[in-house]
Structure 1
Amino acid sequence: MSLPGAARRVRAYGGQFLLLAVLTLVTALLITGVPRVADRLTGQGLTEYVAGQPVARRDLTYSTAPDVVPASEQPVAASRGTLLAAIEEKMPAEVRDTIGERWFAAQTVPGRLRGPTLSDDKGLIDLHLRAGTGIREAATLVGGRWPERGVTPAGAIEVTLAETIATTLGVAAGDRFRLSLLDADNNVLNSRPVDLVGVWRPNDPAGGVWDTLPSMLKLSPPEGDGQPFVGVAYTADAGLNSITAGEWPVAFGWRYRIAPDRLEPGRLDALIAGVDGLDRALPTEVKVTLSQGVDIPLRRFADSLAAARTLLAVIAAGLLATLAGLTLLAARLAANRRRAEFHLIRARGGSTGDVLRRGLAESLLVLPAAAGIGWLLGGLLPGAGSPWLWVLIAGLLATLLPPLAALAVGRRAGGRSDLGGRSPAVRLTVEVAVLGLAVLGAFLLRRRGLTAGSVDPLLVSVPVLLAIAAALVALRAYPWPLRLVSRVAARARGSVAFLGAARAGRAASTGPLVVVVLAVATAAFCGVVATGIETGRDTAAAQAVPGDLLVRGERFAPDTAGKLAELPGVRAVAPLLTVPAERPYADRAGRPAPVTELRVVLVDGERFAEVASAAGVPVSVPDPVRARADGSTPLPALVSPAVADELADAGLADAQGDRPAWLDVQGNRLPVRTAATVDEFALVGDGVARFVVLPWPALPADAPHQLAPTGFVLAGAGVDAAEVDRVAREGQNRYLRIGGVGTGDKARAPEVTTRSAVRADLGGTGVNGLLVFGFALGAGGGAVLGLLGLALAVLAGARSRGQVLSRLRTMGLSRRQWRGMLMVELTPLVLVSVLTGAVVGALLPLLLTPVLGLPAFTGGVDVRPQFEPGLVAGVSVLAMLALGFAITVEAVNNRRMRLGEVLRLGEES
C-alpha cells in the first residue's frame, strides 16, 4: 500500500491511467472552459449587437415641447443645463452604469432667415438656433470664431454654421441676417438680428452629438412645394438666453447614450427592468417626455440569449454524460485487465478495504492532478467564471471510479463481462426502469413545459435518458437479425460469414453501445437543430421579402413598374397595393358593415408568381389571386380566419357572390366574395391577423380613380438596391406631381428592403457566435467521443476475440479471411450504434423544440426540425469512418498482443 508501490503500478499500467487522466482532464476542461467561452462570446455579441443598432434604439431622450419661457426663469440655458446631471442621478443604478455620452441641447423654433447674401435662387430658409454641450469639442473652426459673447454690443445674436450649410447657402463669417418668427399666415411675430461669426467642420460626422433632428450638418429638404429648407445654427448660452427672453419659443432636450462596452449579459434583466422604470423617475422641475427604444434590442437579445443558453445546456449535458460513460468504461476496462491481480489479493485474505485503498492510492497519483490541469487550462480561455466546485466534484468522482471498478471485479471470479456479473432478471429490471423514466420524463417535459430559456434538471436529463433507453432497446433487438444471418451463413460455403455473424450476435456490450449512442445523438441533435434554424431564417426572410427586393412607399406612378423592369438584373416585377386599415361596407352605397378594421392587399397574382419563381422563393400563390377581373363582379378574396368569421356572421362575401362585401380602395368601391380562408400570406406583413388579399383588378379606362401601387416586389439577385431606390423615388414624385396627393402631404420616402439584408439581420441577433460555438462543440465533440467509445467497445472484447483468432489462425485461417471475419463482426456493432444515435438525435428536436425557444433565432418563425440529405450523408460518412477506425484499433491491438502468445497463455492472460 506504500506510495512507491502505487507509483510502480501506475507506471506499469501507464496506458490505462493515461486514458483515464485524459478523460478527466477533458471533462474538467469542458466544465471550466465552456462557461468562460460562452461568457466571452455573449459579451462580445451583446456589444456588437447594440453598437450596430440605430441611434433611436441606443438613446434615452428627455425632451420638452417648444414653449415660451417666463421671465422669472431667465437665464434659462444654465438652469436647464444642470438637469443633465440631475436626471441621470434619478435613473436606476443599472441604467446609470451603462450611460456613456450625454448631451444637453436647447433649440428655438425655426425662424425665417433673410439677408443680403441670401439670393432668391436659394429658396426659403428657416433656421433653428441651438445651444448645448459637446458641440465645440466635436468640431473645428474653419473660419471666424466661436460665439463667445453670444450677443454683440449692437444686440445681434452670434451664431455659427457647419461648413456644409454655409457652402450650400453661399455665406461666410461676417455676414449679417435677420431671423423672423412667423405665424401661419407668414406674418412677423418677432424678429432679431443675427451675425454669422464662424464656420466649423465636424471632427467626426458620425459622432453622437450630431444625431439630432433636424441635423446641424446639412439642410433638411422642403416637405412640399413652397416649403422652406431647414437648417440649424449654433449659438452660445448667452445668445439663447437673449432670444428666449424675447418670448421666442424654445424646446429642451437631455440625451443619454447607452455605451455598448458597458453592458454586461449577467445584468441584462436588471437593465431592462431599469429602463422600464424610467417613466416613474421623471424630473419634477419641468414637464418632460421620455422617448427611448433601448428596450427593444435588449429584449430581443435577452430572448435569444435565454434560448441559446438552454440549447447549450442540452448539448453540454450530452457531452458530459458521454464523458462520464467513457470514464466508467475506461475504469472497467482497466479493472478487467487486472482481474487476476485483484482475485489474487482476495484469495490471500485481502479485504474490501485493501482493494479500495490500493485502487485509491493509484488514482490519487494521477486523476486529481489531471482534473487540476484541466481546470487551469480552462481558466486560460478568455471569459469569466470558473466553476471550480463542479470541477472538484468531477475530479472526485473520476478518482473514485477505478477503485470501485477494481472492487466490483475482485468480488466475482468470472461471469459475463458484458452484463457486469448481473443476472438477467436484474438487467431486465434496470432496463425497464430506465425506459420508464425516459418515457415519463419526456411526457412531463411536454406536459409541464418550462419558461423559454430556463434550464432545469428535467430538461437536461430527458435527452440523456432517451438516448440510453434507445441504446438498450437497440441492444435487445440487436441479436435477432444477426441470428437469422448466422443461420443463412451456416448453410453457405465458407466459415467467415458464419463465424463473424455468430460472434457479432454475442459481442455487443451494454456500456460501449450506450456511450456511442449518446455521443452520436448529441452530434446529430446539433446538426438537425442547426439546419432547422437556418431553414427557419430562410423562411422568415422569404416571408418578409417574397422576392429579392421589396419596395414600399405611399403611391407610385403607374409606369414605375415598367421603369423598375428596365433596370439591369431585374427579371420580374409585380406591383402591390396595401391599405393598412379599411372597414368593409355592406353595399355599394357605403352602409357600414358589422366588421372591424382589416388590412387590404391587392397583388397581380400571375406576376407575383413569376417573381417568386425567378427569385427561388417557395411562395404559394392560390388560384383566386391569379384571377382576372375588372371590378364589375365580386373579386375572389383570400380572407384570414378572423375576418371570414365576421363576414359570415354579417351574411356578406359569400362564396357565390350573391351578397358581396364592399371595400373602398383608393376611391374605388370593389365588391368582394370569400374564395378561400388562409392563415397567412407573404405580402400581408408580420403579426397581421386580419386581412383580405385580392387579385389586381383591371379597372375600365373611365374609372374615376385608377389604382396606384404602393409597392413592388422584384426578382433579381444582382440588382443594385440604390438604383431601385432612385427609380422608386422618381416614381413617387411623378405621382405627387400628377396631383394624386395634396402638395402639403408629407409623403414618406420609399423603403427598399432586400431579402439578403433581412436574412443577414436574422443571423445577427448577437448570439450567433454562441450558437456556432455550441453546435461546433456538440457536433465535433460528439463525433470524436463516439469514435473513442467505439474504440473502447472494440478493446472490451479484444482479449476473447484475440484468443478465437489465434486458434483459427492455427487451423489455417488466412490473413484475408481474418480481416473479412473482423469486418463481419464489427460492422453490425458500428451500424447499430451510429444509426441508433443518429435517429435519436434527429427525433430529440421534435420533442424539445417547444421548450427550447428556437423562434428567437428566426424572427418568430417556428423551427421545424427534419431529416436533411446532408445529415444522412454525414451519418453515412461517420459510420464508414467509425468502421475503419474500429478495424484499425483491432488490428493494432492484435499486433501488440501477439496472437500466438495469447493462445499459449490461456484464458486469463
Structure 2
Amino acid sequence: MRSVAPAWVRTRLRTAPGAAAALALLVALTACLAAAFPRALDRYEDGGLVRAVEQAGPKRTSLLLSAPPPGLQLPQQKREQALRPGTMGRQYAEVLEAVRRPLAADPGQSAYGVTTRESIAVHDPWLARPSRRLPPQVHLVARSGLAEHSSVRAGRLPRASGEVTARTAEVEAAVTAETAEKMRIEVGSVVHVPAVSRPPLAVRVTGILTPREPDGAYWATQPLIRTPDLIRIRMPDDPDPPKYWVGSLLLPPEAAPALLGTTGYAVRYWQLAPDPGALHAHELDGLESAVASLESGPDLGRIREATDPNTQTSTDLDEVLLSYGLLRSGIAPLVAVAAVGGATVAAVVLLMAGGLAADRRRAEFALLRARGASLRGLTGRLCAETAVVAVPAGALGLAVALLAVPEGRLLPAVVAAGAVTVVACAALPLRAAFAHRTVRVHGPRQDTVSVRPSRRRTVAELTLLVIAAGAVEALRRRGVSGSPEGAGASGDQLVSLAPVLVGVIAALVLVRLYPWPLRLLTRPAGRLRGAVGHLALARAARTSAPAVLPLLALLTALTTAAFGGSVLAGVADTRVRAALGAIGADARVGADGPLPAGLPERVRRAPGVQEVTEVSLDHQAEAGDDLARVSLAGVDPAGYAALAGRTGLGAFPGERLRRPADARAPLPALASPSVADRHGTRPFPVRLDDGTTVTVRIALVRDRTPAVPGPGFLVVDRAGLTEKTARTTTLLVTGDRLDADALRRAVGRSAPVDLRSEERAAYVDSPLQSGAETLYAGAVAAGAGYAVLALLLALLRAAPERAALLARLRTMGLTRAQGRRLLVLESLPQALLAAAGGALTGWAAVRLLAPGIDLTALALPPRATAVGESTLRADPLSLALPAVAALLLVVGIAVGQAWWTGRRSSVQELRAGDAR
C-alpha cells in the first residue's frame, strides 16, 4: 500500500484539480483567519497596556529608588565619594541589572543623581516674589544626562571646576526656560543658597535650557526640575493667600558633593522609566511580580546590597497594571465567546468539506474495500492525499497572517494554523473510515423521516446537554470573568463555550423535531391538485440524515451572530446612556458664574436646537445642621420635568416641585438617595453660596437628574430662590441635529460647550476596547461567512442529483417555473427551521446568559460612570437580520440553481450510465 500511495496522490490531483484547489483555498483562508486572530488580540491588548501606562504619566509609572546621604559616622571624603558620578554610575548599572524581565527599563529616559530632599529658601532680592514677605525656595539637583535631554537656549551647560567638595564656595548650574521666566533668572545670575556652618553656597547660572522631550520620563517623572511650582499657603478668610515659587537649579553631576554642605538634606536617587516596547499584556502577571519585587522583594534586596541598606522604591506602576488587568479581565471573556463561536462554525465547515468529498466518492471507497483494501491503508492514502494540499495551504495562510498582522506572538498563531490544517487533513479520512468500517456494496437508506437515532447518539446528545447546562449556570453565577466579583482572571473555556453549546443543543433538538412537521404535512399535501408541493415535501423527507449537518453550522452561526450583535448593541446603548447621564441633554452650556442675559435666546435660535432648559447651579450649597456639601439646582419645574422625561434621567411630575403659595413654607425638592437618607422628609435649611439660606423639604427621590451628573443633589423651583442665586449658570440643550459649530458660535467665549456626541466618542479611549469591538465584529462576520459556506457546501453536494431530477421531470412536462418552485419549496423546510430556530436560540442564549455578563468594561473607560445597568439585552435587529438573511440566501441559491440547470438541455443531464 505504501508503494502505491505517491502514485495515488498524483493521480487524484490530476483527475480532480478543482476539488484540490477548493480545499486549498478553504484551508488557506481558515488558517489565515485562525492565525491572525491571536496576533490581532495581542496587538490590541499590548496597545491598551501601553496606552494605560502613557495616560497614567511618567510621574506615576516610573520607579524612583532613593537612598539617604551617607552616614555622618563615615569620613567626609567617603561621604563625598559616594555622591560622585563614578560611584553613582556604577550603582546605576547594577540597579538596571536588577530589573527582572519581563519588566525592562528604558535607558534613554532613565537617570540618576543627587538632589536636596527639602527645598531651601533663598533671599536674593532680585528673585521673583509673588508675596513680598515670602522668599522663593530652590532644590539643588545634580542629575545625569542633562546634555542629552536638553538644548541650550542661552549661555552654556554648567561645569565643575576642579574637585568639588562639601566646602566648595561656588558651583555652576543651569535652569530650564520656564524656571528662568517665572523666577526671573538670567545667565550670569548668582543664587546664594544657605549652607551649614559657613557662608552661603554661590550658585552661578551659566545656561538656560529647553527640554527636548518635556513630557518624557526624564523630565516628567520629577516635573519640578522642568517647571517651578507656585505654592499657596491656605489661610482662613483670606481671598489672596501668601504664595512663593519653588524651582530647581541643575548642577553638573560632578558638583553633587556640594549638596552635603547645604541645609537641604541631600539624597541619592535612581530613576527607572519602563520601556513601552517591552510591555506585553500576556506577560501582565510577570510585570506585576517584577514591580512587586522591586518594591519589597528580592530585587530590592539586591539593589540595597549595591547601593544602600536604606534604599526605598516608590511607584504607582503596580496600581496602573492592576487597573489595566481589571479592564482586560472584563473584556477578554466576551471576545473569547465570539472567537469560540466563529471557530466552531469554521470547524463544522471543514468537517462538512471532508464529508462532502467522502459522500461523492462513496462508490469508489466501497469498491476499494470490496477489492481488499484495508481500513488503515485506505485512511493512510486519503490522509496523504489531503495533506499534500492542506499542509502547503495552511502554511500559506499562516504566512499571509504573519504579514497582515506583524505584531503579536508567533506560537499561538502557529498552533491555530496547525489546528486548522490537522482538522482539514483528518476530516476526509475519518469520515471515510467511519462510513466504510465494514465492507458493503449498498448502504441502508438514511431518510430523515424514517431513520431512528442510535443509543450512542442519544447518549452523546444528553452529554452535550449536561455540559451546556453546566456552562450556562456557571456563566450566570460567576459572570464572564469566572469569579463571583466579576473581576480577576479570565473565565474558563467552558464558560466561553456556553453560547455555542446552547446553539449546538438547539440544533440537535431541532434535528430530532424536524421529521415531525414533515410527516404531518405529507398527507395534506398529497391532496393538493398540483404535484410540485407534494413532490417538494417528499424530497425534503427523503433527504439523508447526514445532510442535516449544515443545520448545525447555520444554527450555531445564527446564535453566535445574535449573541454578538446583542453585545455590540448593548455596548453602544451603554455609551449613549452614559454620555446622556454625563451631559444631561444633547448639549450642555455651563460656566462657573452666571451666563450673559441674552445667551439663552441666542442658543434657542441656533440651527437644530429644539428646547433650551435654563438651570441655576450652586455646587457649594451646604445642607442641614452638619453643613454637608450638596449641588443645588434651581429650575423651572414644568420645563425641567419635560426634559427629565425625554432623557429618561429621573422623570417626575412637574407640579410636585412647584413653589407653594405660602412664601414661608419649605420649598419642595427632588433629592438624590444619599441626600434623602441623610435628611428624610422633614424640612431642613440649605445655605447657598451667596450666604442666604432657604428651607427645603424632600418631596421626590431619584437616582439621577439631568442638571447634576453625580450624586448628592437637590433640585428646587428657582422661583423660590433669591435673585442672585436664581441667575442662569447652565443651559441644557436638546435637538435631533445640533450644529456643533453654530452652537459654539452662538455661545462664543461665554462658556464651554459640551456635546453628548463628543462625550460618547471620548469613551473609547483604549485600544483594548476598540480592538475588542473590532475582533468581536470580525469573529461574528467570519462565523456568518462560514455559515453561508456551509449552506453552499450542502447545496453543492445535492446539486448533481437535483439537476438530474429536474432534467427527468422536464422530460415529463415540468416547466421551468415549476422547477424553480420545486427547488425553493424543497429547501424551505430546513431554511425555515434554521431561521426560526436561530432567532429563538439567539434570544434564549441572551436571556440565559445575560445575568452573568456586564458590558461596562467593554463599553466605558474606568473614569466614566454607567447610567443604569450595563447588562446584555436581546437586540431585535440582531435576532431577525441573520435569520432573514439565511432564509433569503437559501431561496436565492435554489432559484439560481434552477436557472442554471434550465440553461442546459435534458440530453446533457441524462447521459447513458449516469449514476446520479
TM-score (norm 1): 0.77
The letter for the 2-side match of 1:794 is: L
The letter for the 2-side match of 1:234 is: L
Question: Offset of 1:809 from its aligned partner?
Answer: 0.5
Once the two structures are superposed, what CA deviation does each residue of 1:89-136 show, in whole Å capped at 9, x if it has no partner? 697625852455224462552535545698999998725243232333
| Residues 1:576 and 2:617 are matched in the alignment | yes
Give the number of equivalent residue pairs.
Answer: 852
The letter for the 2-side match of 1:802 is: A
**1:295 match:** 318
Question: Offset of 1:781 from its aligned partner?
Answer: 1.1
Question: Offset of 1:194 from its aligned partner?
Answer: 5.4
The letter for the 1-side match of 2:278 is: R
For the 8 Å contact 1:547–1:714, the answer to whether it is kept is yes
Question: Offset of 1:789 from its aligned partner?
Answer: 0.9
Distance, in Å, in 1 between the alignment partners of 2:343 and 2:67 is: 57
**1:186 match:** none
Task: Give the counterpart of 2:356 among 302, 321, 333.
Answer: 333
For the 8 Å contact 2:827–2:890, the answer to whether it is kept is no
For the 8 Å contact 2:138–2:247, the answer to whether it is kept is yes
Structure 2: gaps spanning 5 or more residues: 233-239
Question: Offset of 1:778 from its aligned partner?
Answer: 1.4
| Residues 1:515 and 2:574 are matched in the alignment | no
Question: Offset of 1:514 from its aligned partner?
Answer: 0.9
Once the two structures are superposed, what CA deviation does each residue of 1:503-545 show, in whole Å capped at 9, x if it has no partner? 4455484211111222333333332222222222333333334
Task: Give the counterpart of 1:173 among 181, 184, 187.
Answer: 187
* Segment drifting more, 810-819 vs 620-629: 620-629
Cα–Cα, structure 1 residues 161 and 22, in superposed 2: closer, same or farther, change >3 Å? closer
For the 8 Å contact 1:315–1:526, the answer to whether it is kept is yes
Distance, in Å, in 1 between the alignment partners of 2:807 and 2:716 is: 81
Once the two structures are superposed, what CA deviation does each residue of 1:763-814 show, in whole Å capped at 9, x if it has no partner? 1223135314422431321122111111122133334433432232012112
Cα–Cα, structure 1 residues 360 and 196, in superposed 2: closer, same or farther, change >3 Å? closer
Question: Offset of 1:626 from its aligned partner?
Answer: 7.7
Once the two structures are superposed, what CA deviation does each residue of 1:692-718 show, in whole Å capped at 9, x if it has no partner? 54436556659xx96999988777773
1:174 partner SS:
coil
2:507 partner SS:
helix
Cα–Cα, structure 1 residues 167 and 512, in superposed 2: closer, same or farther, change >3 Å? closer
Question: Offset of 1:286 from its aligned partner?
Answer: 8.9
Cα–Cα, structure 1 residues 438 and 892, in superposed 2: closer, same or farther, change >3 Å? farther
Distance, in Å, in 1 between the alignment partners of 2:647 and 2:268 is: 49
**2:430 match:** 404
Once the two structures are superposed, what CA deviation does each residue of 1:207-262 show, in whole Å capped at 9, x if it has no partner? 43332676555665674466345544434467776576253566776543222222
The letter for the 2-side match of 1:280 is: S
**2:41 match:** 38
Cα–Cα, structure 1 residues 808 and 227, in superposed 2: closer, same or farther, change >3 Å? same
For the 8 Å contact 2:570–2:872, the answer to whether it is kept is yes
1:574 partner SS:
strand
Identity of aligned residues (%): 28
For the 8 Å contact 1:574–1:607, the answer to whether it is kept is no
Cα–Cα, structure 1 residues 434 and 119, in superposed 2: closer, same or farther, change >3 Å? closer
**1:132 match:** 142
Distance, in Å, in 2 between the alignment partners of 1:390 and 1:228 is: 63
Cα–Cα, structure 1 residues 299 and 626, in superposed 2: closer, same or farther, change >3 Å? farther
Structure 2 counterparts to residues 34-433 of structure 1, below 5 A: 34-61=37-64, 75=80, 78=83, 82=88, 85=92, 88=95, 93-94=100-101, 97-100=104-107, 101-103=109-111, 104=113, 106-107=115-116, 109=119, 111=121, 114-115=124-125, 126-133=136-143, 134-149=145-160, 155=169, 158-163=172-177, 166=180, 172-175=186-189, 195-211=204-220, 215=224, 223=232, 224=240, 227-228=243-244, 231-236=247-252, 242=258, 245-247=261-263, 255-276=271-292, 279-280=295-296, 292-348=315-371, 352-353=375-376, 355-357=378-380, 359-360=382-383, 362-380=385-403, 381-382=405-406, 383-387=408-412, 388=414, 395-410=421-436, 411=438, 413-417=442-446, 423-424=452-453, 426=455, 431=461
Distance, in Å, in 2 between the alignment partners of 1:713 and 1:125 is: 47
**1:774 match:** 775
Distance, in Å, in 2 between the alignment partners of 1:270 and 1:809 is: 72
Distance, in Å, in 2 between the alignment partners of 1:106 and 1:391 is: 56
Cα–Cα, structure 1 residues 311 and 670, in superposed 2: closer, same or farther, change >3 Å? same
1:764 partner SS:
coil
**1:815 match:** 816
2:615 partner SS:
strand
Question: Offset of 1:354 from its aligned partner?
Answer: 5.7
The letter for the 2-side match of 1:126 is: P
**1:184 match:** none
The letter for the 1-side match of 2:634 is: D
Cα–Cα, structure 1 residues 305 and 563, in superposed 2: closer, same or farther, change >3 Å? same
Structure 2 counterparts to residues 740-779 of structure 1, below 5 A: 758-779=759-780
Q: Give RMSD over aligned pairs.
A: 5.1
The letter for the 1-side match of 2:142 is: G
Structure 2 counterparts to residues 644-793 of structure 1, below 5 A: 653-654=680-681, 659-660=682-683, 666=689, 671=695, 673-680=697-704, 691=712, 693-695=714-716, 701=722, 718=740, 758-793=759-794
For the 8 Å contact 2:685–2:695, the answer to whether it is kept is yes
For the 8 Å contact 2:571–2:859, the answer to whether it is kept is yes
Cα–Cα, structure 1 residues 557 and 692, in superposed 2: closer, same or farther, change >3 Å? closer
Distance, in Å, in 1 between the alignment partners of 2:388 and 2:168 is: 92
Once the two structures are superposed, what CA deviation does each residue of 1:660-704 show, in whole Å capped at 9, x if it has no partner? 455656566655544344455567667x6xx454436556659xx
The letter for the 2-side match of 1:798 is: A
Cα–Cα, structure 1 residues 221 and 443, in superposed 2: closer, same or farther, change >3 Å? closer
The letter for the 2-side match of 1:603 is: A
**1:864 match:** 872
The letter for the 2-side match of 1:765 is: S
Distance, in Å, in 2 between the alignment partners of 1:768 and 1:23 is: 31
Question: Offset of 1:616 from its aligned partner?
Answer: 8.8
Structure 1: gaps spanning 5 or more residues: 182-188, 729-750
For the 8 Å contact 1:528–1:842, the answer to whether it is kept is no
Distance, in Å, in 2 between the alignment partners of 1:409 and 1:844 is: 34
**1:735 match:** none
Cα–Cα, structure 1 residues 435 and 15, in superposed 2: closer, same or farther, change >3 Å? farther
Question: Offset of 1:82 from its aligned partner?
Answer: 3.4
For the 8 Å contact 1:23–1:326, the answer to whether it is kept is no
Distance, in Å, in 2 between the alignment partners of 1:838 and 1:639 is: 43
* Segment drifting more, 203-212 vs 257-266: 203-212
For the 8 Å contact 1:561–1:574, the answer to whether it is kept is no
**1:737 match:** none
For the 8 Å contact 2:340–2:496, the answer to whether it is kept is yes
Cα–Cα, structure 1 residues 114 and 827, in superposed 2: closer, same or farther, change >3 Å? same
Cα–Cα, structure 1 residues 235 and 88, in superposed 2: closer, same or farther, change >3 Å? same
For the 8 Å contact 2:554–2:787, the answer to whether it is kept is yes
For the 8 Å contact 1:99–1:259, the answer to whether it is kept is yes
For the 8 Å contact 1:599–1:692, the answer to whether it is kept is no
Question: Offset of 1:8 from its aligned partner?
Answer: 1.9
Distance, in Å, in 2 between the alignment partners of 1:601 and 1:198 is: 51
The letter for the 1-side match of 2:410 is: G
Cα–Cα, structure 1 residues 87 and 820, in superposed 2: closer, same or farther, change >3 Å? same
**2:235 match:** none
**2:236 match:** none
For the 8 Å contact 1:32–1:378, the answer to whether it is kept is yes
Once the two structures are superposed, what CA deviation does each residue of 1:549-583 show, in whole Å capped at 9, x if it has no partner? 77999xx4445798799789796553433469x7x
